Structure formats: C-alpha cells, structure tokens
Amino acid sequence: MFELLKKVLKPYGPSGNETEVAEVIQRELTGHVDSMTVDAMGNLIVVKKGTDPNGKKIMLSAHMDHIGFIVTGFEKQGVLRVTSVGGVSADSNQYRHVVFGNGMEGVVVSQSLKPGESRAMKHLFIDIGAEDEADARSKVQLGDVAVYAPNVVRLGEHRVASPAMDDRSACAVLLATLLELGACKDTVIGVFSAQEEVGCRGAKVASFAMEPDVGIALDVTAWGDTPEVTQPAVSLGKGVAVKVMDSASISNPPLRDHLMALAEKHNIPYQREVLAFGGTDAGAMQTSRGGIPVCTLSIPCRYVHSALETVDLRDMESAVKLLKAYFEE
C-alpha cells in the first residue's frame, strides 16, 4: 500500500488541474478495467463491468485535487500575493515550502500583524526569490497555483505524513480496490473526481452522467486522538471510519448498517463516524438526479489541510478489505 500511496501523492494537482494525477492512475489501471475516460470536468471515470446484466451500478468516488494558493498580484519587491484554492488556513502557513505547476518553488510567508489583528490570507505572500516585480512576472503568471511541495515522511511502522493525503490516500484505496477486485455481479464505476475542494463539482457531474444506483465516497476525516482534540471520536490505526453524518450528507441507514455488518462479519477493523463539519463527494452523489443512497468510508487523518497530513496505512488497508467484501458478498 505504501508504494501505491507514494505514486499518487507525488503529482501536482490542485483543484481544476488534476491532469497529472489522472495520468498516474491511468497507467496503474491499464489492463485492469473495461474502460477509462476523462470527462469535460477533468474527472477520471473507470468502469469495471459486472457479470450480472441486471446488477447494480455502484459508484465509488475519491477526489484527486488538493488545496493550494492562487496568485492574485505582484509586489514591487518581487513577492506574490495569493489567496486560497479550497480550505487553506492562514494560521498554519508560515514558512511553508510550495511549488507551482511549472516547477517554480517558493516559501509562503506571513507579514507582521498589527496589534489585535488576526492572520488572514491577505497577510500571506510567496517568496520565489525574484529580484523585483518584473522578474517575478517572468517566472509565474497571475492565476498560477502553488501547492505544498511533495514530502512523504514515514512516522513509525504504520503512519505516513505528506501533503495531499486529502484525498490521495483515498485515491490509493480506490486504486488498490480496482486492482485487487475479481469478477463481481455489480458494475463498479470508479470516479477519481476533480474539484472536490471547491464544492464537490466533479462528483456532481460524474454522478449525473453515470446514473449510479448506489454511491460510496472515499475521503479522509478529521481526528480525535491528539491532546485536547477529542472530536470526531475516531483514531488513527483503529480501522476505516463508516460515516453516519457530516454537514453535507446523512448516510443511507441500510447501506451504512450493511457496511458495518460486513466489517464485523469479516473481522475488518472499523469505526463509526459523526463529523460536525465538512463534507465529501457523497453530498453531491446523494442529490444527483432523483437521489441515490450514499455512504462515506473515511480514512482518519491528523492535521487535515496542512502540509503534513498524517494517516495510518492499516486504516487504508481496512477500507480496501471492506470494499472488496461489499462487492464480493
């Protein structure tokens, strides 16, 4: 799992520019699925046909994009003014190493705050080592997007920290499931979705086009196992989290309970999850066309939307086992 995870963590892929991620996944899946297409939104949609002509169409969705910094202006000193693409926290971005799509590297810096002022995106700039504004403009353009520079770190035997775990860890889970899954009666629609971090736009389009009967989102969730952090009540290393509710969707009770029952039947570690904030592609799938039953399987992740999001490989492996049990049952 670690080697597969490293492959999907490396590519540049902020919201709206997921092409490099899709290309890596396509190379891995060649010869293992019946079809692969990239739609107008940038979603990579792969299909593994079921053996039963009357079987269901099950959509699994994991998003390829991650958060970033988009250039909004240039200062005379050669630094870049930026704002967020997705949920970037200004407070956690002092002296962060970032990289643009053209390979240009930089450091995110915050200017000094006035008394009583709270840090916001307007205080941040990126230093790319330019001599002046003209030099900066020759290196990047207005609208270019920087992301946290790839940096995969092993923490102990089972845990890995890196930018873009949200949601490349779930992309690795979906990829591993498609690679390992044998023949099954239902058709699997694997969607590696685009632009989730800016409103689940890719999943909305894909679910409308593919008309699935059931939707399962694969994403990370927050953590509750570090000092002074107890909610949500999930922990790294204790298994995949089966979501009950978040702010964007309520999981379909029969589907949710079936997944939990499968986990218990096959001795797959799992946790129940209630998230008081956030959302996943399940929210987009749930309201597509006439509506479909959905659930989210979550990978517990510490320090979400930071430069070192941290997951446990065992939780990813339990997610793969649960998905295989669901299709092979």
Inter-axis angle of helices 2-9 and 19-29, to 10 degrees?
A: 150
Beta strand segments in the chain, E: 35-38, 44-48, 57-63, 68-74, 80-85, 96-100, 105-110, 124-127, 145-148, 153-155, 159-162, 187-193, 214-221, 240-245, 270-274, 294-300, 309-312
- How far, CA to CA in Å, does 208 sit from each of 192, 287, 292? 15, 9, 11
State the Cα angle at 247 between 244 and 251, rounded to 5°.
Answer: 30
The residues, any chain, with a CB within 8 Å of residue 122's CB and separated by 6 or more, are none
- Residues marked active site are found at 196
- How far, CA to CA in Å, does 194 sit from each of 64, 140, 197, 266, 291? 6, 24, 8, 33, 21
User: Residue 115: is the preceding peptide bond cis (ω within 30°)?
Assistant: no
Give the C-alpha separation, 105 to 98, whole Å.
6
Antiparallel, parallel or unpaired: β 240-245 and 68-74: unpaired
- Burial of residue 271 (CB within 10 Å: 0-12, 13-18, 19+) is buried
- 165, 189, 167: which is closest to 177 by C-alpha? 189
Residue 197 backbone zone (phi > 0: left; psi -120 to 50: alpha; other: beta) = alpha
Give the C-alpha separation, 25 to 82, whole Å.
30
State the Cα angle at 56 between 55 and 61, rounded to 5°.
Answer: 140
DSSP class of residue 320 equals H
